[in-house]
Chain A
Amino acid sequence: MFEIRGRLHRLGMTVITAVLVIPFLLPMYTMARGSLQGAGWANYRAVIALPGFVTYFRNSAMIAVATICIVYVLTMMASYGFSKLRIRHKEIYFWALMGALTMPEVVLLIPLVSMAAKTGAAGTVWAVIIPLAALQIPFTVLLTRNYIDGIPDSILEAARIDGAGTIRQFWSIILPLTKPMAVAIIVLVLINCWNAYLLPLVLLGQEEGLMVVTQLPNSFKSMYNDDQTKILACAVLAAIPEVAAYVGLQKHFERGMTAGALK
């Protein structure tokens, strides 16, 4: 974008960028430094030695995987329908779905608690998976519909002439062509599931075996005394899998977002 002439200019621009990203590094630095105060590395050892340490991660991973599967399947079908099929009142359905995008989690608490109680989902991971999925589908549909809009109708037309039905077209054209979108969906849904705090807190509680990773710091918050250093160590450990997933998928994620955003 910006024109850069010569090495010095290039260095100058890099320095400007570096200054601009300092605010992003400051909290990271504070977090890492705080986690090593007091007992030092023993803070990390104490976190890892927590009974059920692995459970926190396993539950979050389970919730994320299940949510991703549900969101992926439903998003693909819905986006295909919205984009390529002729369905009566399609736009009304679409806006009804977009309306769901605006639903704040706080508002959902009261009814979710009572619904979970009535359906028997309370106290199981489904009490969290289902609302989490429902809340993310509108956004992923928005993205994916845009993406599928960009697939030329002529490709589908050609397939139809060859005798492929709607399902066949979905299976052998839409799904393979939306692979970059799949990565974007995985990353976005993963972030939101991994970071969910309020829904798991209220719907799962912290009973044995049902804690999620955002509750890890709570193990070091007690009635009288918050162990600030270990809370930060928890923060660092809880963030690692996500950061690793993002860094690993970065290239594909960017491609998916680019594709969903514009054509």
Chain B
Amino acid sequence: MKKNRTVPFVAAITVGMATMLGCAEDTPKDDAADQATVVWWGYAPDTSVGELWAAEFMKDHPDIKVEYTNYENVDYAPAMEAAMQSGRGPDVFPVATGGVTGRELLGPYGMDLASIAEEELGPLWKDQFGPGYVDQLTYDGAIVALPVGGVATGFFWINKDLFDTHGVSTELATYDDLKAACETFGAAGVTCLTMGVASLDCFIIDLMHTISQSYDHDYFLEAVLGERSFDDPTFVAILDKLREMLADGVFAQNVVSIKQYPEANNEFLSGQAAMVHMGTWYAQYAKRDGMIASMEAAGVSNPTPFTMMPMASPDFAGDGHPAKPFGDVDYGMAINKDTKNLEAAKTFVLWLTSTKTGQQTVVNAIDLLPALTGVQPEWDNLGLVDPEIQIPAFTELFDEGANPDGWRLMAITSETNNALVVAAQRALSEPGASTAEIAKQAESEVFRTDF
């Protein structure tokens, strides 16, 4: 008998609600019938950059509309998983080569682009892209994304103004030079090398890789691939080095408490830290506008941009073999297997990855190394803070990045990523645990696969 009452009740509520929601759906639906819309989601690039690329594309293709939604790195995987399962995923989306936004997770959702690329770009299409970039985007035998751009790391970025003010040489050849520089900066109240390992980002892995190259050039990649183990004296030596860096004041005490983004990044960009270990993507902050915006975001009022320069890694092991930039494809653009806009999606992905105009637009953000060989950033028009010294240094860096000394994330699964970050966290914050034990634990947690 209660049910009798329920029906009109619920009905009334439902009708009321439907009316309300109906009113709310007043978003303009004025898309002309002949204009295809490509929905693009991504953890990269940033919203403003993505919108710029979309706008440039629409200039060339006025009949296609591209809508970009940016997700935070850590929210990207859950959002994609949920959307793809319910069939409302985007038409195009980025897939990284490794890590938590990598092909291991997203590969199954992308269609095989090999035949499309071959048809459009000819049989030798793979050679038009950067070294190995295409192969780094395969999943289960299929090429699930076309390269948008590459990345290289294995060096430091320095705040040249701080180095000059405190009379520190901008060439630190050995670990002892680095340590001495840090003593100078420390005495002046400047953080030396800002680093944050509080979240499971890959940045500390980059630094471990840099250190590793100095001890044993091939070790790190061999361990990642399973040819050698992380339960190995070289990895123990890397962990010991991290501890030494903390004890020597190279790292600040809060290294395990802060995240690389936003905290360490903000510390560097607000001029409170002299160095940061980041990759080629950091070049974007050398632009005057980008730097001012970033400094304000870091809480600096009326910021004055400083000169940012890349600096080769010191020789950590002291045996004459400092690391050289290593890297791989940063990410590629994939097309949803179930897309209903295949033609438009194809046009956009090919424009972004394989046309001169598209790639020029991409690389002018100086966030990515060019994916298409032969394209270079238009350095003179980018508004760098100090073009005279930055342009030669950046050009050289981008050239080196185009011929990387080994991969960065390509073979690192998300579990390996997490195991290595936790190993670094433990080394830096559990003085009671031996580095040998930490290395052993890391080896037990990594996961290797050949995709």
B299 CB contact (under 8 Å) in A37, A203, A220: A37
Q: Does A125 contact B (CB under 8 A)?
A: yes
A69 to B72: give the CA distance in the assembly, Å: 33
Binds A, one of B57-65, B83-91, B371-379: B83-91
Query: A-B contact count, CB below 8 Å?
Result: 134
Count of interface residues, chain B, beta-carbon cutoff 8 Å: 54
**Judging by beta carbons under 8 Å apart, are A123 and B72 in contact?**
no
**Judging by beta carbons under 8 Å apart, are B17 and A38 in contact?**
no
Q: Does A91 contact B (CB under 8 A)?
A: no
Chain A neighbourhood of B6, CB < 8 A: 77
**Judging by beta carbons under 8 Å apart, are B20 and A202 in contact?**
no
Q: Does B73 contact A (CB under 8 A)?
A: yes
**Judging by beta carbons under 8 Å apart, are A114 and B85 in contact?**
yes
Q: Does B1 contact A (CB under 8 A)?
A: yes
**Judging by beta carbons under 8 Å apart, are A223 and B5 in contact?**
no
Chain A neighbourhood of B318, CB < 8 A: none
A69-B16, A73-B9, A209-B27 as given contacts; A224 in contact with B281, CB under 8 Å: yes
Size class of the contact patch on chain A: 35 or more
**Judging by beta carbons under 8 Å apart, are B262 and A228 in contact?**
yes
Chain A neighbourhood of B297, CB < 8 A: 38, 220, 225-230
Which residues of A183-223 are within 8 A (CB) of B? 201-203, 205-209, 218-223
Q: Considering only CB atoms, which chain A residue lies closest to B265 in the complex?
A: A225
Chain A neighbourhood of B46, CB < 8 A: 222-225
**Judging by beta carbons under 8 Å apart, are B85 and A117 in contact?**
yes
**Judging by beta carbons under 8 Å apart, are B301 and A37 in contact?**
yes
B296 CB contact (under 8 Å) in A58, A65, A222, A229: A229
A70-B13, A116-B86, A209-B27 as given contacts; A167 in contact with B265, CB under 8 Å: no
Interface positions of A (Cβ within 8 A of B)? 34, 37-40, 58, 62, 65-66, 69-70, 73, 77, 81, 85, 109, 113-114, 116-117, 122-123, 125, 165-167, 170, 201-203, 205-209, 218-230
Q: Could you list 16 further interchain pairs (A-B, Cβ under 8 angstroms) beyond the known A218-B75, A221-B262?
A: A38-B298, A39-B296, A77-B9, A109-B78, A201-B78, A202-B78, A205-B79, A205-B83, A208-B27, A222-B47, A223-B73, A224-B261, A225-B262, A225-B294, A226-B262, A228-B266
Q: List 11 A-B contacts (CB under 8 A).
A: A38-B298, A40-B301, A85-B2, A114-B85, A122-B86, A201-B75, A202-B78, A223-B72, A225-B262, A225-B269, A228-B297
3 pairs of A and B residues whose beta carbons are closest in the complex? A117-B86, A226-B262, A122-B86
